[in-house]
Amino acid sequence: MTLTDTSGCVWTMIEVISSAHPLFVWYTADRSTVRTVSPGLGAQWAAMKAAQRREAERAGRALLARVGLGEPEDNLSLGSRCQPGDTPQQDCVWGLPFPGVWQWSLVVRYESTQDASDRDLIVLSGTSRFWKFADRAG
């Protein structure tokens, strides 16, 4: 896909980037956002005793390590980069490795045909709580 901006510069789409980053109520930097997106999780956290909070953090850190996302401080994301010619069903598919609150985005990257500079267009982004089907089934 090619676009021309108001100054006549031609931009060509070079890839679509989808990504997600997990947030945890036990991680201080994430707590406010998690409480906003999922007040129930915030209430559960507030009701926990110190030992329960330590266990929740230990389990969350183990989840991150198991899926290769390191520590919360690393701020790592998972996702895919799809380029023209990729087969979406093979090259561009990924999933969330565990339920929870995730920040996510869908970005289209364009390159200028005049000077090869890149620009990103954020198509959609947000923060959502994702559930396991079994947690929501009637």
pLDDT in tens, 68-88: 999 999 999 999 999 888 887
For residue 120 the two structure tokens come to 């990103």
> Domain locations in the chain?
2-136
Burial class (CB in 10 A: 0-12, 13-18, 19+), 22: buried
The pLDDT assigned to 114 comes to 81
Give the span between the Cα atoms of 50 and 123, in whole angstroms. 41
24-82 residue pLDDT tens = 999 999 999 999 999 999 999 999 999 999 999 999 999 999 999 999 999 999 999 99
Give the span between the Cα atoms of 17 and 107, in whole angstroms. 5
